[in-house]
Amino acid sequence: MNIPVTSRIAPASRPLAGRVSLVTGSTSGIGLGIARALAAAGSDVVLNGFGDATEIDRTRERISKECAVTVSYSPADMSEPRSIGDMIAAALAQHGRLDILVNNAGIQHVAPLEKFPVEKWDQILAVDLSSAFHTTRAALPAMRRNRFGRVINIASAHGLVASPFKAAYVAAKHGLVGLTKVTALETAEEGITCNAICPGYVYTPLIEAQIDGQARAHGISRDEVIRDVLLAQQPNKRFATVEELGALAVFLSTDAAASITGIALPVDGGWTAH
Ligand code: NAD
């Protein structure tokens, strides 16, 4: 039986120096916040996601300059298994290693079960759940070779509890929590951890898009939507921030978190304590 020793003492200010991270869906919102935080902690980063090419290039250059790390970009579609395989292969070819994989890309659709469009169900399951299976299975061999890896799955409070009208999203996020546990168990002896972060409401473009729509639907103000609709379940009545999630992803990626694996950690202001 080996007694563990900390093999790698990294400077506190850049604890991820020398690491390579890939964050899916990192052209916006939580993914971008996590990518920035990983880069600020010293990791090279591969961005991924949709958006305006010029804007993405500007973001890539800004993070690279501010954090003095290499930042690349893959436009791979997370609903396409072959593109996902190509993205991981290209990241390994360019950077020579992949240490931190953040499965963050996600989409949402809200409709009653009987009216839920079948193609939306398929699309949400593909992007919010299956993409993490495809990225993880492609990334694990390199992590196993290095005897180091961090897989961080951005699930949701909806990976732990349900809300009506979100059948596909809730099913996908519960599935992602299950995948997290299996990944953790299969890699536990190899220096690899896998955890799920389960945010409640976080202020991002995905949420901003819902505020005006809900205000119109309910005939109430934006403030009322935020307090009485969106944050109705969130006891602390505040949105979490992308910076808070970025800091958590950095911590889970450090050597200090080596024994944290297989968990689904709520960051939900008390929502799932109900
Ligand atoms: P967002 O819409 O701001 O960002 C989503 C990102 O995913 C974008 O970069 C987008 O380009 C990318 N993306 C979407 N489809 C893709 C595809 N097929 N291939 C590649 N990239 C794709 O959303 P967000 O609020 O930042 O959400 C990020 C993750 O966090 C999602 O998994 C979401 O379910 C989860 N989450 C968000 C909240 C919240 O309140 N915002 C709460 C809990 C969980």
pLDDT at position 1 is 52
Ligand 1 nearest-atom number relative to CA 33: 26
Q: Find out whether 192 and 143 touch, Cβ atoms under 8 Å.
A: yes
Domain co-membership, 229 together with 146: no
Domain co-membership, 159 together with 230: no
Domain co-membership, 86 together with 181: yes
User: Any residues with Cβ below 6 Å from ligand 1, and which?
Assistant: 25-31, 48-51, 77-79, 104-107, 127-128, 154, 156, 199, 201-202, 204-207
Ligand 1 nearest-atom number relative to CA 202: 40
Domain co-membership, 118 together with 160: yes
Domain co-membership, 53 together with 107: yes
pLDDT at position 5 is 54
Q: Report if residue 12 sits inside a domain.
A: no
Mind spelling out the 3-state secondary structure of the chain?
Answer: CCCCCCCCCCCCCCCCCCCEEEECCCCCHHHHHHHHHHHHCCCEEEEECCCCHHHHHHHHHHHHHHHCCCEEEECCCCCCHHHHHHHHHHHHHHHCCCCEEEECCCCCCCCCHHHCCHHHHHHHHHHHHHHHHHHHHHHHHHHHHHCCEEEEEECCHHHCCCCCCCHHHHHHHHHHHHHHHHHHHHHCCCCEEEEEEEECCECCHHHHHHHHHHHHHHCCCHHHHHHHHHHHHCCCCCCECHHHHHHHHHHHHCHHHCCCCCCEEEECCCHHHC
CA of residue 8 to ligand 1 center, whole Å:
33
Q: Report if residue 222 sits inside a domain.
A: yes
User: How confident is the model over 59-99, as pLDDT tens digits?
Assistant: 999 999 999 999 999 999 999 999 999 999 999 999 999 99
Q: Report if residue 196 sits inside a domain.
A: yes
pLDDT at position 9 is 56
Domain co-membership, 51 together with 146: yes
Q: Assign residue 179 the CATH number of its domain.
A: 3.40.50.720
| CA 257 – CA 271 distance, rounded (Å) | 25
For the chain, list residues with pLDDT below 50: none
CA atoms within 13 A on the CB side of 116: 20
Domain co-membership, 48 together with 87: yes
Domain co-membership, 181 together with 97: yes
Domain co-membership, 219 together with 146: no
Is 73 designated active site? no
Which secondary-structure segment (H or E) carries 53?
helix 53-67
Q: Whose CA is nearest to atom 23 of ligand 1?
A: 206
CA of residue 105 to ligand 1 center, whole Å:
5
Q: Find out whether 262 and 180 touch, Cβ atoms under 8 Å.
A: yes
pLDDT at position 255 is 97
Q: Which residue has the tokens 């010029």?
A: 54
Domain count, the chain: 2
CA of residue 22 to ligand 1 center, whole Å:
15
| CA 132 – CA 222 distance, rounded (Å) | 34
Q: Which residues contact 182 (CB under 8 A, 6 or more apart)?
A: none
pLDDT at position 145 is 98
CA of residue 135 to ligand 1 center, whole Å:
16
Instruction: Tell me the angle at which helices 242-253 and 29-40 cross, rounded to the nearest 10 degrees.
Output: 50
Q: Which domain holds residue 86?
A: 20-202+241-273
CA atoms within 13 A on the CB side of 265: 17
